[in-house]
């Protein structure tokens, strides 16, 4: 697997060992509070996610293309995906705050608010931990929880990515989805500010 992190993230030590697409390639956060809007003016690949963007695999993935519903397997570990401008085709993959976790769960297991943001059981969240902004890159398969490798914060994607355990105080921001044929689109902005709270 070719596994290259966003340009504003440090390279992980063992990136090559990560399973294809299912775990994230970004490492510890440094320098968050990234001025995304300023960078967007210089480089559209650093622009924030926008309503109407389609979810896509990164250019460094095995297949750089839009994600389809068939890619998102029920109860499997989350996919690491990015927003892509459907007009220009630019994937917004060079700002680590744009990294998204996409997972499909049994719709019956979702709480009402999560179900309202989901499409066919697929739910999406920011991949950036709300404790200290590491990339949330692990999956507790038995509980179907996201786990941050830095300080073991655990989030429940069936319940708004609410904190289950660990030092974080906030859920992962949720990203409402909709379908347009085989494309998975962003239906509304993230539910909360991205990343760790300002110091």
* Residues at the site binding ligand FES, with contacts judged by CB under 6 A: 129, 131-132, 134, 148, 150-151, 153, 166-168
CB contact at 8 A, 159 and 125:
no
Tell me how far CA of residue 64 lies from CA of 31, 45, 84, 89, 154, in angstroms.
Answer: 27, 14, 11, 11, 29
Quick one: 29 or 66, whose CB is closer to ligand FES? 29
| Nearest distance, CB of residue 164 and ligand FES, angstroms | 12
Quick one: 114 or 168, whose CB is closer to ligand FES? 168
Quick one: 107 or 149, whose CB is closer to ligand FES? 149
Quick one: 77 or 135, whose CB is closer to ligand FES? 135
| Nearest distance, CB of residue 151 and ligand FES, angstroms | 3
- 26 forms beta bridges with none
| Nearest distance, CB of residue 125 and ligand FES, angstroms | 13
Quick one: 26 or 134, whose CB is closer to ligand FES? 134
Quick one: 34 or 186, whose CB is closer to ligand FES? 34
| Nearest distance, CB of residue 183 and ligand FES, angstroms | 31
Half-sphere exposure of 62 (CA within 13 A, CB side): 8
Cα angle 43, 131, 14 (rounded to 5 degrees) comes to 65
Structural element, H or E, at residue 113: helix 112-117
Query: How many secondary structure helices (H) and strands (E) does the chain include?
Result: 2, 11
Which among 182, 186, 168, 65 is positioned nearest to 124, based on CA atoms? Answer: 186
| Nearest distance, CB of residue 189 and ligand FES, angstroms | 22
Distance CA 66, CA 56 (A): 4
| Nearest distance, CB of residue 128 and ligand FES, angstroms | 9
End-to-end CA distance of the chain: 36
């Amino acid at each position: 697997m070719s596994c290259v992190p966003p340009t504003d993230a440090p390279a992980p030590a063992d990136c090559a060992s990560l399973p294809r697409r299912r775990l994230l390639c970004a490492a510890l956060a440094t320098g968050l509070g990234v001025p995304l809007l300023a960078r967007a003016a210089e480089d559209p690949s650093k622009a924030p996610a926008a309503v109407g963007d389609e979810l896509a695999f990164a250019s460094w993935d095995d297949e750089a293309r839009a994600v389809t519903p068939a890619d998102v397997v029920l109860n499997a570990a989350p996919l690491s995906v990015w927003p892509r401008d459907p007009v220009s085709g630019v994937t917004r993959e060079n700002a680590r705050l744009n990294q998204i976790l996409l997972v499909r769960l049994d719709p019956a297991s979702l709480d009402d608010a999560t179900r309202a943001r989901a499409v066919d059981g697929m739910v999406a969240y920011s991949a950036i931990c709300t404790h200290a902004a590491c990339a949330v890159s692990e999956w507790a398969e038995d509980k179907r929880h996201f786990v941050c490798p830095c300080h073991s914060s655990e989030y429940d994607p069936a319940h708004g990515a609410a904190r289950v355990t660990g030092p974080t105080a906030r859920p992962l921001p949720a990203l409402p989805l909709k379908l347009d044929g085989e494309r998975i689109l962003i239906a509304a902005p993230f539910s909360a500010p991205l990343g760790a709270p300002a110091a």
